[in-house]
Amino acid sequence: MSWSSPVQRNIVAGMARRNAAARSLPIRRASGNIVSCMQGKDVMLRIEDLADRFTRDLPGLLAHIEEVVNIDSGSRDVEGVNRVQSIFAAQLRDLGFAVMRVPGSGRGDQLTARRAFGSGPNVLILGHADTVWPAGTAAEWPFGRSGDALTGPGIADMKSNVILAIHALKLLIEGVGGADMSGVGSVTFLIVPDEEIGSPQSKDWITAEGARCDFCLTLEPARPGGGTVVSRGAVGAAYINATGVTAHAGSNRLGGASAISALAPLVGGIEALGSIEAGNYATVGVLRGGASKQVVAGECEAHLDLRASSRQEADRLWEEITRIVETAPRDPRVTLTLTGGFIRPCFPQLPGMTALYGRAEAFARALRHPIAPNVSRGGSDGSFVAAQGKPTLDGLGVIGHDICSRREWAELSSLAPRGAMLAGLIASGGDVL
């Protein structure tokens, strides 16, 4: 990738000037004590030096990002996901990580990379290799950049972020900014193949690794304005299937029992449950049934998206949906079945998480980079770790916009400061716990 044009050189030079301007800024607690310039063993971590190095390394980083973005890796595209995993695995092996890959059933490999460093907290980093996009998308919409915008399938969610995290580890191992990894027990990096469909095959693996860690850093994209996720609600999916009796609508209408007539009236009651403002609600996103206009519908199905702000609210919402289905008036020849449930637990605000966020905020302020706490209704794999009481911080990737749409883009200018902030958290996050 060439950076010979004046515009490209100006982008890198401008980012370097901005990061250099932060060098004189101390990183402090509200009480005024120096924080996380300090690592374990009284070693000073110079966050601005890490940001400067990220800026200098941008051409190579963008080449790596372009390579993986231009590979289709939808959650059910085993070959594509594994091609991306192979690139990540090779980069992590080059950093001295032991890499293990476990094939899935109809899914890509689960990738675990682990390296011991010294004595201290065990850090878990969570990323994923899959995207929401079908095969052929990368050919139609390849990696691109225009001004401060990087585009392409999965550019912010989250291929750029995995590359950023791997590079953060590289700089820490090299000791950039005075980094000393002897105060970290180990780093485990999980790259999940099926996150975009709820991690059905990866949930137990993530949960088990979460139990081993002292804190978790999750690489979902940051929100516009630097929103970094400090809490998430529970997320679920439910399916209601109605089975009736088909018949010709003209010659034998009474011989039929309509599945649509039984299921469709339930939609309004389900969507009236809870409160959207409070974050506890169900949305019927799919309702379909029938074969032809002159045939009494023998089948109908509804697909529900579930959101809840707490475990108690999740249980209450599920109980209410179950009640609606079980007590629905209908032709006795029609059967209704409800399946599914909450697939990602709540991600509570824990004291350790608050401390981690405070450290991230200190790094960001020192680099004059925007940051704000964000409470999300969307789920992530970090929820499986946070639900065990482990301090977890999410939204640590690049600043992304219009996620999971053809308009998705990432802020190029956020790569260096977000990468430096992530590196700082890996090296020193355990100091505040």
Over residues 15-24, the pLDDT tens digits come to 444 344 333 3
Which long-range contacts link 116-119 to residues 24+ away (Cβ below 8 Å)? 116/185, 116/186, 117/181, 117/182, 117/184, 117/185, 117/186, 117/187, 118/181, 118/182, 118/183, 118/184, 118/185, 119/182, 119/183, 119/185
- The full set of domain ranges for the chain reads 6-232+347-432, 234-344
| C-alpha distances in Å from residue 40, one per residue of 31, 179, 266 | 20, 10, 58
Question: Catalytic pick from 66, 130, 194, 220?
Answer: 130
Q: Round to whole Å and give the CA distance between 10 and 253.
A: 73
| 334 within 8 A of 262, measured Cβ to Cβ | yes
The reply to whether 234-344 shares the fold of 6-232+347-432 is: no
- 278: tokens are 């409070």
Matching residue, tokens 């977000």: 418
**Nearest C-alpha neighbor of 46 from the set 433, 432, 431, 423:** 423
Q: What is the pTM of this model?
A: 0.85
Q: Round to whole Å and give the CA distance between 64 and 54.
A: 14
The pLDDT of residue 433 is 80
Give the number of other CB atoms < 10 A from CB of residue 358: 15
| 425 within 8 A of 359, measured Cβ to Cβ | yes
Q: What is the dihedral of CA 118, 190, 70, 91, to 10 degrees?
A: 30
Q: Residue 389 burial by CB count (10 A; 0-12/13-18/19+): exposed, middle or buried?
A: exposed
| 150 within 8 A of 93, measured Cβ to Cβ | no
| C-alpha distances in Å from residue 241, one per residue of 266, 291, 300 | 12, 15, 6
| 135 within 8 A of 144, measured Cβ to Cβ | no
Q: Round to whole Å and give the CA distance between 428 and 47.
A: 11
The values of phi and psi at residue 311, to 5°, are -65, -40
**Nearest C-alpha neighbor of 203 from the set 323, 79, 107:** 107
**Nearest C-alpha neighbor of 359 from the set 233, 235, 215:** 215
The pLDDT of residue 143 is 99
Q: Round to whole Å and give the CA distance between 193 and 200.
A: 10
**Nearest C-alpha neighbor of 376 from the set 243, 225, 220, 164:** 220
Q: Which amino acid, residue 141? A: W
DSSP secondary structure letters along 51-67: HHHHHHTHHHHHHHHHH
The pLDDT of residue 38 is 55
Determine whether 204 is an active site residue.
Answer: no
Note the pLDDT tens digit of each residue in 19-48: 443 333 333 333 322 334 555 554 579 999
What parts of the chain have a pLDDT lower than 50? 1-36, 42
Q: Round to whole Å and give the CA distance between 144 and 65.
A: 10
CATH number for 234-344 (one of 2.120.10.30, 3.30.70.360, 3.40.50.720, 3.40.50.2000): it is 3.30.70.360
Question: Catalytic pick from 195, 313, 394, 411?
Answer: 195
Determine whether 130 is an active site residue.
Answer: yes
List of E strands, 198-353? 215-218, 227-232, 234-243, 281-289, 299-308, 335-344
| 2 within 8 A of 12, measured Cβ to Cβ | no
The values of phi and psi at residue 332, to 5°, are -60, -15
Q: Round to whole Å and give the CA distance between 190 and 257.
A: 50
Which CATH fold topology does 6-232+347-432 show? Aminopeptidase (3.40.630)
Give the number of other CB atoms < 10 A from CB of residue 42: 8
List of E strands, 172-317? 186-192, 215-218, 227-232, 234-243, 281-289, 299-308
The pLDDT of residue 339 is 98
Matching residue, tokens 């004046």: 6
The pLDDT of residue 430 is 81
